[in-house]
A and B are shown apart, each in its own frame.
Chain A
Amino acid sequence: MTAPRNARFSMHVQGWLLALPAIVLLATFTHVPAVSTVVDSFFSTPHGRQPAAFIGLDQYRTMLADPIFWRAVENNLLYALITVPVSIGLALAMALWVNGRIRGRAALRLAFFTPTILPMVAAANIWLFFYTPDYGLLDQIGRLFGVDSTNWLGSPATALPALMAVTIWKEAGFFMIFFLAALQQVPPDLYEAARMENAGRWQIFRRITWPLVMPTTLFVAINALINAFRIVDQVIAMTGGGPNNATTLLLFYIYQVAFSFWDIGYAAALSTVLLFVLGTIALAQFFLLDRRIHYR
C-alpha cells in the first residue's frame, strides 16, 4: 500500500514545484503587496521618528468625509459607464466593417489598430495638441464651421469627456481585434441558413452574430471595466486631475495621496477600496452574467 501513496505524494510535489515559479512571482508582486496594503490601511502614516500606530477604521472614516474621494468615485463611475459601452459598440462596428469583403481591408484594420500600439503618454501628447484652444486641431476644424474656440481641458464641463474620448479612441481598436477573431469563428452555414429564410441584416445580427460573440463581449467588457478603474497616465499627462478635481479618478487620487502627500496609510485605505471594487467587478461578471451567455 505504501508504494502508490508515495507515487501520489511525489506527483503532488512535482505539481507544486512546477507551479512554484508562477506562485512565487504572483505572491511577491501581487498577493503579498495586496494583503499588506489592506493591513497598512488600519495604521496611521509614520512621520519621521513617529512610527505607524494602529488606528482601526479611522482612515475609512476620513475617506467617507473626504469630498475629493467622492468626486473621484463619481468621476470614475461616469468614466466606466460611458467609455465601456461606447468602446465596445465601436469595436464591434469596426470589426463588422473590416470583416466584410471590402477594398483596403488590411489598411483599415491597421488604421483602427494603430492607437493601441502607441504608448499612452505619446497618445496623450497628441491629444493635448488636438485640444489646445485656438490653434489646436479641434478648434481649427471648428473655426471652418464658425464655432468659437473651446477650452477643452480647461473647463470642468468638457475636461472629463475629453479624457474619455482618448480612452475610447485608444481601446476600441484593441477590442476590435478580439471581435474580429470572434466573428471569424461564427460558422458560415448559420448565415446561409438565415439568408434562405429571408432574414434581414438586423435580424441576422441580433439572432446569430450578437449571441455568438457574447463570450468575447463579456471578456472585453471585463477588461474595459477594469481598465476604466486603472486609468492614471493620461490624467497625469493631460490635466493633473484639474480643473478643480474635475478629472480626478480613483487611481490618480491614490497616486497623489501616496506620492505627493506621502500619506501612506490613507493611500493604503484608498487602494483597498479600489482592490475591493475591482474584485467585485470580476466576481460579478464571472458568476452572475455567466449563465446568460451562449457557449458552444
Chain B
Amino acid sequence: MNSFTRIMTATALATTVLAGSAASATEITFYYPIAVGGPITKIVDGYAVEFAKAHPDITVKPVYTGSYQDSVVKAMTAAKAGNAPDAAVLLSTDMFTLIDNDLIEPYDAIATSEGDKTWIKSFYPALMENSQAGGHTWGIPFQRSTIVQYWNKEAFKAAGLDPDKAPRTWDEMVAFGKKLTKRDASGHVSQWGVEIPSSGFPYWLFQALTTQSGAILANQDGTKVAYNDPKVVEAAQFFADLGQKYEVMPKGIIDWGTTPKDFFEGKTAIMWTTTGNLTNVRKNAKFAFGVAALPSKQRGGSPTGGGNIYIFKTKDKVKQAAALEFGRFLTTPERAADWGIATGYVATRPDAWQTEAMKKYAAEFPPAVVARDQLKDAVAELSTHDNQRVTKVLNDALQAILTSAKPAKPALDQAQAEATRILHAYQH
C-alpha cells in the first residue's frame, strides 16, 4: 500500500466517522448581527447552550456576522453558494429583498400546529407590520426598537424650563430649542437645542417626522412610495428648518454615531436616537436625563426598526423544523424579557412585560417602558421591493435638502419619480 492509498483510506474512514456522529444530532447555523453595545456574543452563546440542554438532538451554531449590512451580505452570498444559514437575524426591512431572491420560507408554511399559530399572533401588531407581506408572515420580531427623545434635565433647568417635561409638539420643540441653544457674542454655539441625526440612513429618523405629520411612506406590499406627498414635503421642510430657519439644530449632516457623544458632552440638550442606546446613555450620561416619546404634529409616532428572525429555504425539513424550534425558543416571554433588559431593545410581546424580571426592571428604570408605550403609535419602517435602492433615493434627497443643495419640494418630486421607476418592475 503506497502512501497515497493510505491517506485516501484514512480520509474515507474519517468521513464515515464524522458523518455518523453528525447523523445523531441536527446541526443548524444561526447568523446574527450586533448593532448595539454590550456583551451580545456572550448572551447569544448562552441562549444556544440553554437550547442544547432542552433539545439534546439539535446543535445550534451561532455565527456573529458583523453589522446588519455585513450580515445580509454574508447570508445572501452564502445562500447563493448553496450554503445558506438555517436561521438568521437580519433587518426587518430586508424582507422584500429576501423574498425576491427566493431565500426565505414563510412561517405560515412551516409553523402549522395550533401552538405555532398562537405563537405567530403573540407579538405587538406594530412589530408585525414589517414582518408580513402578501398574506404571509416572513419574519418574527427579535431585536426591535423605536426612536425616542433623550433630554438633559440639567440643561433644561439652566434654560428655565421644567426639567421633567420633554417637548410634546413640534412647536414646543422649536420653542424649547430656542431657549436651550446657547450662543456667545461672536455667534459660536456651545449648546444646541436638539439633534436629529442625518448621516447614513436619514430616512429612518425622517420617517418619524413624516409619521407625525400624518403621512405613510410606503404601502404594505412594498410596491409604492409617497415621497412627494404634501405631508412628507412639510416634514422635510421642518427637518431643514430646524437648522436653517429656527437655528436650534446644527446645519448640514449630523453624524448618527457621534450624536450620543454630543449629548454626553452637553453639545446638545435633546437628541433623537434609538431605544437601543438606552443602556449606553444610562452608563455614560453624567447628568440627570429623561426619555420620552417623540413630539407630535398631526399625531405622535415613530417607525419601528431593528431585526427579525428569518428561516431560510432548504430541502432538509428536519433542519428547518429545528430552526423553527430555535426561533420559538428565542422568543418566549421570558427570553424576550431577558433580551430586552440586557440590550435595551423593546421586549417584543405583551406577555413579556408581565414576567417578574421585566416588572422589576421597569420599576427600577422607568425609561425602559417609554419605547413599549410608543409602540401603539408606531408604524412600519420604510421597506419596499429593491429596498436599499428605493431608500437610498430618499436618503440622497434628504441630504440634499438638509445641506441646502435643493429645496424640499423639487428634491422629493425627483425622488418620487426615481423610486417609481425602480418599483415599476414590481407593479402587478
Q: Are A and B associated in one complex? A: yes
Task: Give chain A's interface residues, CB within 8 Å of chain B.
Answer: 47-49, 132-135, 143, 146, 148-149, 151, 153-156, 239-240, 242-245, 256, 259-263
Checking B97, B250, B267 against A151 with a beta-carbon cut-off of 8 angstroms, the contacting residue is: B250
Q: Which residues of B contact A263 (CB under 8 A)?
A: 389
Report whether over half of chain B's contact residues are helix, strand or loop; otherwise say mixed: loop
Report whether over half of chain A's contact residues are helix, strand or loop; otherwise say mixed: loop
Check A156/B403 contact, CB under 8 A, given A132-B258, A134-B267, A149-B188.
Answer: yes
CB proximity of A247 to chain B, nearest CB, Å: 11
Checking B97, B255, B405 against A154 with a beta-carbon cut-off of 8 angstroms, the contacting residue is: B255
A153 touches B255 (CB 8 A): yes
Q: Which residues of B contact A154 (CB under 8 A)?
A: 199, 252-255, 403
B253 touches A243 (CB 8 A): yes
CB proximity of A33 to chain B, nearest CB, Å: 14
Residues of B161-197 whose CB lies within 8 A of A? 186-188
Q: Which residues of B contact A148 (CB under 8 A)?
A: 186-188
Q: Which residues of A contact B186 (CB under 8 A)?
A: 146, 148
Q: Which B-chain residue is minimally distant from A243 (CB atoms)? A: B399
- Ranked nearest first, the 3 interchain pairs of A and B with the lowest CB-CB distance are A154-B253, A48-B102, A243-B399
Check A133/B400 contact, CB under 8 A, given A48-B102, A49-B102, A154-B199.
Answer: no
CB proximity of B313 to chain A, nearest CB, Å: 10
Bound complex: CA of A242 vs CA of B400, how far in Å? 10
B101 within 8 A of A: yes
Q: Which residues of B contact A239 (CB under 8 A)?
A: 199
Interface size in chain B (residues, C-beta < 8 A): 34
B407 within 8 A of A: no
B57 within 8 A of A: no
B399 touches A242 (CB 8 A): yes
Check A245/B396 contact, CB under 8 A, given A134-B267, A262-B101.
Answer: yes
A151 touches B389 (CB 8 A): no
Bound complex: CA of A2 vs CA of B73, how far in Å? 59
Check A259/B73 contact, CB under 8 A, given A155-B403, A240-B200.
Answer: yes
Residues of B381-427 whose CB lies within 8 A of A? 386, 388-389, 392, 395-397, 399-400, 402-403, 405
22 contacts between A and B (CB under 8 A): A48-B102, A134-B267, A143-B188, A149-B188, A151-B252, A154-B255, A154-B403, A155-B253, A155-B403, A156-B405, A240-B199, A242-B200, A242-B395, A242-B396, A243-B403, A244-B403, A256-B388, A259-B73, A260-B388, A261-B386, A261-B388, A261-B389
Check A243/B402 contact, CB under 8 A, given A154-B199, A260-B388, A261-B386.
Answer: yes
Q: Which residues of B contact A48 (CB under 8 A)?
A: 100-102
Q: Which residues of A contact B267 (CB under 8 A)?
A: 134-135
Q: Which residues of A contact B40 (CB under 8 A)?
A: none
B226 within 8 A of A: no
Bound complex: CA of A256 vs CA of B386, how far in Å? 13
CB proximity of A151 to chain B, nearest CB, Å: 4
Bound complex: CA of A49 vs CA of B397, how far in Å? 33
A151 touches B258 (CB 8 A): no
Q: Which residues of A contact B11 (CB under 8 A)?
A: none
Q: Which residues of B contact A153 (CB under 8 A)?
A: 253, 255
B328 within 8 A of A: no
Q: Which residues of A contact B399 (CB under 8 A)?
A: 242-244
CB proximity of B211 to chain A, nearest CB, Å: 23
Q: Which residues of B contact A242 (CB under 8 A)?
A: 199-200, 253, 395-396, 399
Bound complex: CA of A134 vs CA of B386, how far in Å? 38
Q: Which residues of A contact B402 (CB under 8 A)?
A: 243
Residues of B243-261 whose CB lies within 8 A of A? 250-255, 258
A47 touches B100 (CB 8 A): yes
Q: Which A-chain residue is minimally distant from B257 (CB atoms)? A: A128
Bound complex: CA of A106 vs CA of B75, how far in Å? 48
Given contacts A47-B101, A143-B188, A154-B199, 9 further A-B contacts (CB under 8 A): A132-B255, A135-B267, A154-B253, A242-B399, A243-B400, A244-B403, A260-B389, A262-B101, A263-B389
Bound complex: CA of A281 vs CA of B142, how far in Å? 50
Q: Which residues of A contact B400 (CB under 8 A)?
A: 243-244
Q: Which residues of A contact B126 (CB under 8 A)?
A: none
Q: Which residues of B contact A259 (CB under 8 A)?
A: 69, 73
CB proximity of A156 to chain B, nearest CB, Å: 5
CB proximity of B90 to chain A, nearest CB, Å: 13
Bound complex: CA of A125 vs CA of B400, how far in Å? 25
Checking B100, B200, B389, B405 against A244 with a beta-carbon cut-off of 8 angstroms, the contacting residue is: B405
B76 within 8 A of A: yes
B265 within 8 A of A: yes
Q: Which residues of A contact B405 (CB under 8 A)?
A: 156, 244
Question: C-beta contact mask, B67-93 vs A, less than 8 Å → 1, else 0?
Answer: 001000100100000000000000000
A260 touches B69 (CB 8 A): yes
B403 touches A133 (CB 8 A): no
Bound complex: CA of A35 vs CA of B255, how far in Å? 40
Q: Which residues of A contact B187 (CB under 8 A)?
A: 148
CB proximity of B393 to chain A, nearest CB, Å: 10
Q: Which A-chain residue is minimally distant from B73 (CB atoms)? A: A259
Q: Which A-chain residue is minimally distant from B400 (CB atoms)? A: A244
Bound complex: CA of A132 vs CA of B260, how far in Å? 13
Question: C-beta contact mask, B95-107 vs A, less than 8 Å → 1, else 0?
Answer: 0010011100000
CB proximity of B63 to chain A, nearest CB, Å: 18
Q: Which residues of B contact A245 (CB under 8 A)?
A: 396
Q: Which residues of B contact A135 (CB under 8 A)?
A: 265, 267
Bound complex: CA of A148 vs CA of B102, how far in Å? 53
Q: Which residues of A contact B396 (CB under 8 A)?
A: 242, 244-245
Q: Which residues of A contact B200 (CB under 8 A)?
A: 240, 242
CB proximity of B240 to chain A, nearest CB, Å: 13
Question: C-beta contact mask, B358-402 vs A, less than 8 Å → 1, else 0?
Answer: 000000000000000000000000000010110010011101101
Bound complex: CA of A256 vs CA of B388, how far in Å? 9
Bound complex: CA of A154 vs CA of B262, how far in Å? 15
Bound complex: CA of A151 vs CA of B403, how far in Å? 11
Bound complex: CA of A262 vs CA of B98, how far in Å? 11
Counting chain B CB atoms within 10 Å of each CB, which of A49, A154, A261 scores highest?
A154
Q: Which A-chain residue is minimally distant from B103 (CB atoms)? A: A48
Bound complex: CA of A240 vs CA of B69, how far in Å? 12
Question: C-beta contact mask, B18-56 vs A, less than 8 Å → 1, else 0?
Answer: 000000000000000000000000000000000000000
